[in-house]
Each structure stands twice: as C-alpha cells, then as structure tokens.
Amino acid sequence: MKIAFYDDGSGPRTGIVTAERLTPTGLAGGMAELIAAWDDVQAELRRREAAGDGAPLASVRLLPPVPRPGKVFAIGLNYADHIAESKMETPQHQVWFTKAVTSVNGPFDPVQIPRISQTVDYEAELVAVIGKGGKHIGRDDAAARIFGYCVGNDVTERMWQHRTAQWSLGKSFDTHAPIGPWITTSDEIDPHNLALKCLVNGEERQSSNTRHLVFDVFDQVAHLSQAMTLEPGDLVFTGTPGGIGAAMTPRRFLKPGDVVRCEIEGLGHIENRFEPEA
C-alpha cells in the first residue's frame, strides 16, 4: 500500500495512492498517528484501497509523508563506490549523524541554497520509516519494525559538513531533507534489491542498487535501537552511492535553478528545484 500526506485545499490529511488517484483514509491526525495505529486500521484502509475512488493525484499537493518526525538519522559511507570516491576506508562500525527535523521537505517543493553557501550537494537515498520501533531490536526482528520506505535526498552543505568532525550541522540546513512522494508499506518492498538513481537537470549522476549497501537496512535499525528507542515515524536515511558532485573533477555543486530528481524502483520519485534562500 502507498500512503501519502497531502493537501487538497482543505488542510493536510493522509490518503491511499492507487494508480493515479488518491483516496482519503478518513483518519484524524498525521502519518505518525496512522503508523502507530496501523494494526487497528489497516483492514479498513485495505478496503478503501480496493475501492480505489478519490481525487486525481495530480489535483493535490503532496507533502512530506512525515512532516515532523521525532528523529531523523542518516548513515554515512555505506556504498563501496561512495567510500572510494570519498577517499576513505570502509568503516568497521556504522557512521551515523542526525539531520534536524526542520530540514524535512516535500517531495516536489523548492530546496534552499543557503545565503552562506556555494557548496550544496545531492545524495539520493532509500529512507526507512519506522513502524512499531522499540529498543534492543534484533536484526531478525528489524524488518517487522519498519513501516515502509520512501525516496529521500540527503542534501548536504559540504563546506559546513567538513569544517568539523561532526557532520550534523552541514546536513541540517532548512529544506535539506526532501522525502516522498509517499510511503510504500514494507510488505510490498524488498529493500535490498532496488535500483536507485539521481539526475541533475536530466543528467544521470548516481546509479546503483541497494544490494550494494555495506550495512543493510535491518543491520542499521538493529544498531540504532541499541542506543535509543525508535518510534513510529522516525526516519532512517540508509546511505548514498557514488556520483556526488563533490567527488567530480572539477567539482559540480548545485546552482540556483538546478532540478534534482531522485528515483527508486518501486517507490516513485521526488524532484526539487534549488532556489536561493530568501
């Protein structure tokens, strides 16, 4: 099932995407509330999905599926080709950083190029959305704790990322985590065999498959849960493959007017125009 958060002019709400139509779930609250109540509501939502009525998808504005997640974590150096282009060693332990919740952005909304920046870069990523969550989750149980998956772009201000050993500030500028276009529930997806691409102004920059993850999605969820309780709606950016602008010769950072499209097999795509911060 594909579940979106959208606005048709009467306020944000959750809906079920079927073909090119969007059916309201009829539930109060946002995506995190739906995820937390999933066991109780999924039968009714599957009935609505089968009915397949609703508004044309093109007539609504798609919002970030989880607009204010409790936590946004992202793993670094998790594809071999990206490690090589970064001229770093394959990490023995998972390398994590946070992105501020204020960086979360819609799947087709503008992304800001900050006033202080000339080094904004793209990173197409598979994003896991936590469902039941919990703490001290075993790897074999991790799949059951993930609600679903969506497409993300871990937009990065490279100068701020690398001026200190802690990456979080350079990863947390406003609008720098567009996600969407909706969440595809985990029962429909094998997260470890998905083609992934990033295009800038139609030019392919990244192309890989999630089978090349160094630490797979279930390892990531299990690892994070040893430190903290994962909660419904938390976001996990699972890593980006090679092809980032900072690794090109010469380096190619994003400019005002550039359009970045990130797409993942079975999950759809997001597409954002980069604009100067007002």
Whether 129 and 235 have beta carbons less than 8 Å apart is answered as yes
Whether 94 and 62 have beta carbons less than 8 Å apart is answered as no
Return all residues near 91 (Cβ < 8 A) that are at least 6 apart. Answer: 77, 83, 214
Q: What is the pLDDT of residue 242?
A: 95
Using CA atoms, how far residue 70 sits from 85, 110, 158, 195, in Å, is: 32, 23, 25, 28
Q: What is the pLDDT of residue 272?
A: 99
- For residue 156 the two structure tokens come to 């990065």
Element (H, E) at 154: none
Query: Across the 278 residues of the chain, what is the mean pLDDT of every consecutive 10-residue run?
Result: 96 94 94 97 94 88 98 96 88 96 98 96 98 97 98 98 94 98 98 98 97 97 98 98 96 98 98 97
Q: What is the pLDDT of residue 71?
A: 98
- Model's pTM, two decimal places? 0.97
